[in-house]
């Protein structure tokens, strides 16, 4: 029952909060922040006290029939992988909700109601292991995000166009993913992930993976299906960008992680195409980011770069689970699989908290200086020293600096994928240039925005963020440093789940 409470508490509370917002906006905001906090604390309680970290199997299972004659049911359960993603989801929703108090200019009561619906969609996606209800929660997320971009974007006309583009791209991919799920049902007569794993032959896995790939690739996004993302980020308010990059993209990464378990032979069959797309996504996005003048667009392209590591790692994990490795390498197939899977999940978590702080900082700068164009906001460190410090932390973390959470996941991804793929796919090692490029343009961004010559526009009175406004950003620094120094806190949660599906 606890997982159902965790999933549905936000959306159930959204209805009265919306009604209260029509009468008393401040009360609606307080209730919203209370519900977001309760959901986060409940996720911590569930993972810390109800979840057995030493077991790799799904736990706390709850099953309710929905359409029993086709096997579509509500089946929620948690393993180590979904435990990590659930913590990330409830944490970032709370951080985005907190920051929304300052960064959302109008209709805040409605905004919080939409945010709570979004949280239910996210948690349901991470916790449902029946493909039919997984798809329902997957699609549920699109609705609130469409309104977050289109209704609350700073430039209404551009925001509406970006929201429509986002909806079309991601929904088309989702329809193809649904066709893949239906095909799986025609082969096995079930939507249950636990029954599908290991039940499909090579041809069936190839067909299923070819279809579900597009659902994940459009949302991750993988080059060349990425063109909706920069526009969506630029036109969305910063809290929406946090949710978009920090959580919505993770749904696709989570989908690829589960696909390694469900369709390993299907991924292995397309490994050459997938590896090329992954390496191109990593290098292309990092290179394009350098050329951006809009701070948010630069950060958006860094998201594509980081999610490319997830795609690379999951492809390498599938190859390790099906294929063989070079006898010259003194490393087992099982170890390569575990490194890649742990790395993929770690990158998703680390990217969530890092991108959260970067997008919120971009929002604060835009709110204070009136622009995000890098050339117009040089020298802001003179006026906003704490914002400069936090951007430096976020920037070097995004670049994979050792001691930061981003380094751990990237190290696992590269050790696993390069070890398993170097012979014959030696060119995958080029992907290791991605973090170097990201670190270079993040340091350059810091230098230009904060430590350049103070611009004339910046000499006027700038509204400095209050300590309360900076507090959620300071809280994001905690996991960035904590899990960079002591990554086993996260690995302990997920390693048994990864070992349970290892070859």
Parse the chain into domains and list their residue ranges. Answer: 270-503
Element (H, E) at 75: strand 72-78
> CA 107 to CA 17: how far, in whole Å?
12
Its pTM stands at 0.94
- Reply yes or no on whether the pLDDT at 375 is more than 60: yes
- Residues 397-421: what's their mean pLDDT? 90
Measured over the CA atoms of residue 187, residue 188, residue 193 and residue 196, the dihedral's sign is negative
- pLDDT tens per residue across span 1-59: 899 999 999 999 999 998 888 888 888 899 999 999 999 999 999 999 999 988 889 99
325 DSSP assignment: -
Phi, psi of 429, deg, nearest 5: -65, -15
Burial class (CB in 10 A: 0-12, 13-18, 19+), 270: middle
326 confidence band (pLDDT: 50, 70, 90): low
Lowest average pLDDT, out of 140-144, 173-177, 431-435, goes to 431-435
- Residues 237-245: what's their mean pLDDT? 92
Specify the pLDDT at position 63.
Answer: 93
- Residues 399-411: what's their mean pLDDT? 90
- Reply yes or no on whether the pLDDT at 187 is more than 80: yes
Specify the pLDDT at position 171.
Answer: 93
> CA 97 to CA 258: how far, in whole Å?
29
Element (H, E) at 67: strand 59-67
Specify the pLDDT at position 461.
Answer: 58
Task: Characterise 189 by phi-psi region: left (phi > 0), alpha (psi -120 to 50), beta (else).
Answer: left
Lowest average pLDDT, out of 209-223, 251-265, 325-339, 412-426, goes to 325-339
User: Tokens 């995958």 label which residue?
Assistant: 428
Specify the pLDDT at position 456.
Answer: 47
User: How large is the greatest C-alpha to C-alpha distance in the chain, in angstroms?
Assistant: 70
Burial class (CB in 10 A: 0-12, 13-18, 19+), 80: buried
C-alpha pair distances (Å), 404 with each of 139, 341, 351, 358, 452? 33, 19, 11, 15, 26
Which among 314, 214, 196 has a CA at the least distance from the CA of 254? 314
- Residues 216-235: what's their mean pLDDT? 90
Burial class (CB in 10 A: 0-12, 13-18, 19+), 65: exposed
Neighbours of 27 (CB within 10 A): 13
Average pLDDT of every residue of the chain: 89
- Residues 358-369: what's their mean pLDDT? 84
- Reply yes or no on whether the pLDDT at 452 is more than 70: no
Note the helical H segments in 128-155.
131-140, 142-152
């Amino acid at each position: 029952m606890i997982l159902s409470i965790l999933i549905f508490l936000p959306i159930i509370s959204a209805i009265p909060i919306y009604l209260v917002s029509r009468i008393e906006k401040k009360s609606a905001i307080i209730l919203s922040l209370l519900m977001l906090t309760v959901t986060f604390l409940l996720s911590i309680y569930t993972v810390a006290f109800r979840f057995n970290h030493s077991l790799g199997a799904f736990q706390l299972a709850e099953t309710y029939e929905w359409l029993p004659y086709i096997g579509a049911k509500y089946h929620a359960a948690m393993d180590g992988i979904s435990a990590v993603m659930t913590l990330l989801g409830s944490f970032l929703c709370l951080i985005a909700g907190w920051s929304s108090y300052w960064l959302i200019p109008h209709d805040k009561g409605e905004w919080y109601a939409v945010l709570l619906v979004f949280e239910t969609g996210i948690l349901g996606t991470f916790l449902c292991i029946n493909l039919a209800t997984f798809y329902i929660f997957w699609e549920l997320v699109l609705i609130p995000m469409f309104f977050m971009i289109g209704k609350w974007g700073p430039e209404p006309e551009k925001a509406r166009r970006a929201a429509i583009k986002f909806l079309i791209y991601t929904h088309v991919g989702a329809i193809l993913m649904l066709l893949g799920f239906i095909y799986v049902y025609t082969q096995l007569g079930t939507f249950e992930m636990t029954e599908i794993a290991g039940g499909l032959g090579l041809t069936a896995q190839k067909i299923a993976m070819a279809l579900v790939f597009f659902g994940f690739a459009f949302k991750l996004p993988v080059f060349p299906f990425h063109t909706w993302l920069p526009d969506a980020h630029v036109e969305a308010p910063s809290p929406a960008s946090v949710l978009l990059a920090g959580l919505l993209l993770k749904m696709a990464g989570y989908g690829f992680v589960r696909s390694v378990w469900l369709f390993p032979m299907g991924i292995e069959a397309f490994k050459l195409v997938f590896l090329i797309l992954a390496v191109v996504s990593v290098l292309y996005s990092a290179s394009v980011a350098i050329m951006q003048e809009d701070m948010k667009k630069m950060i958006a392209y860094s998201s594509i770069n980081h999610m490319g590591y997830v795609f690379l790692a999951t492809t390498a994990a599938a190859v390790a689970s099906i294929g063989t490795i070079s006898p010259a390498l003194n490393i087992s197939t099982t170890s390569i699989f575990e490194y890649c899977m742990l790395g993929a999940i770690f990158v998703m978590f680390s990217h969530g908290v890092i991108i959260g702080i970067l997008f919120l900082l971009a929002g604060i700068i835009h709110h204070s200086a009136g622009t995000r164009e890098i050339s117009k906001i040089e020298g802001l460190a003179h006026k906003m020293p704490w914002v400069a410090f936090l951007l430096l932390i976020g920037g070097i973390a995004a670049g994979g600096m050792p001691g930061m959470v981003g380094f751990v996941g990237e190290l696992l991804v590269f050790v696993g994928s390069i070890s398993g793929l170097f012979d014959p796919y030696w060119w995958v090692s080029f992907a290791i240039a991605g973090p170097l490029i990201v670190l270079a343009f993040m340091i350059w961004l810091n230098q230009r925005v904060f430590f350049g010559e103070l611009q004339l526009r910046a000499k006027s009175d700038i509204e400095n963020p209050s300590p309360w406004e900076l507090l959620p950003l300071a809280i994001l620094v905690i996991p960035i440093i904590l899990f960079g120094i002591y990554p086993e806190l996260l690995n302990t949660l997920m390693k048994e789940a990864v070992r349970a599906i290892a070859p």
